[in-house]
């Protein structure tokens, strides 16, 4: 039986904004809170798990094929995630409006 995956295109002003938005906080018994992120270990994105595959992209740049000059197209942090439908529902509900986008012609895409 084949697993079905959904493809999400995420964007945030900064990488740290996306890390924060995907984190969950839990109250500690003695007071205070602890923040956890199942997609980021504090240093790197956890790019591959059975439920997801992450493609961190960062800002979008294009190079002129003739001159090699690189131009910043979009300075926001971009990331693609291919995940189970249940996880896609959780991510879409968790992230603030505007962080899940549906680009007309994505520069980075997933193969099926």
pLDDT number for residue 103:
82
pLDDT number for residue 79:
95
pLDDT number for residue 110:
72
Contact 62, 71 (CB under 8 A): yes
pTM of the model: 0.82
The span from the CA of 23 to the CA of 106, in Å, is 26
In terms of residues, how long is the chain?
112
pLDDT number for residue 112:
64
Tens digits of pLDDT across the chain (112 residues): 567 899 999 999 999 999 999 988 766 777 776 668 889 998 999 999 999 999 999 999 999 999 999 999 999 999 999 999 999 999 999 999 999 998 877 777 777 6
DSSP bridge pairs for 82: 7, 53
Contact 10, 101 (CB under 8 A): yes
pLDDT number for residue 24:
83
Q: Which residues of 25-48 are buried (b: 16+ CB within 10 A; e: fewer)?
A: eeeeeeeeeeeebebbeeeebeee
The span from the CA of 80 to the CA of 110, in Å, is 8
pLDDT number for residue 33:
67
pLDDT number for residue 97:
92
């Amino acid at each position: 039986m084949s697993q079905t995956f959904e493809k999400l295109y995420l964007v945030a002003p900064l990488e740290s904004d996306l890390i924060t938005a995907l984190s969950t906080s839990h109250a500690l018994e003695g007071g205070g809170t602890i923040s956890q992120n199942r997609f980021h270990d504090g240093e790197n994105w956890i790019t591959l798990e059975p439920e997801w595959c992450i493609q961190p992209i960062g800002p979008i740049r294009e190079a002129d094929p003739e001159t090699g000059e690189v131009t910043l197209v979009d300075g926001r942090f971009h990331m693609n995630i291919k995940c189970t439908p249940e996880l896609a529902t959780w991510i879409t509900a968790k992230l603030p409006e505007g962080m899940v986008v549906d680009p007309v012609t994505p520069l980075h895409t997933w193969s099926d």
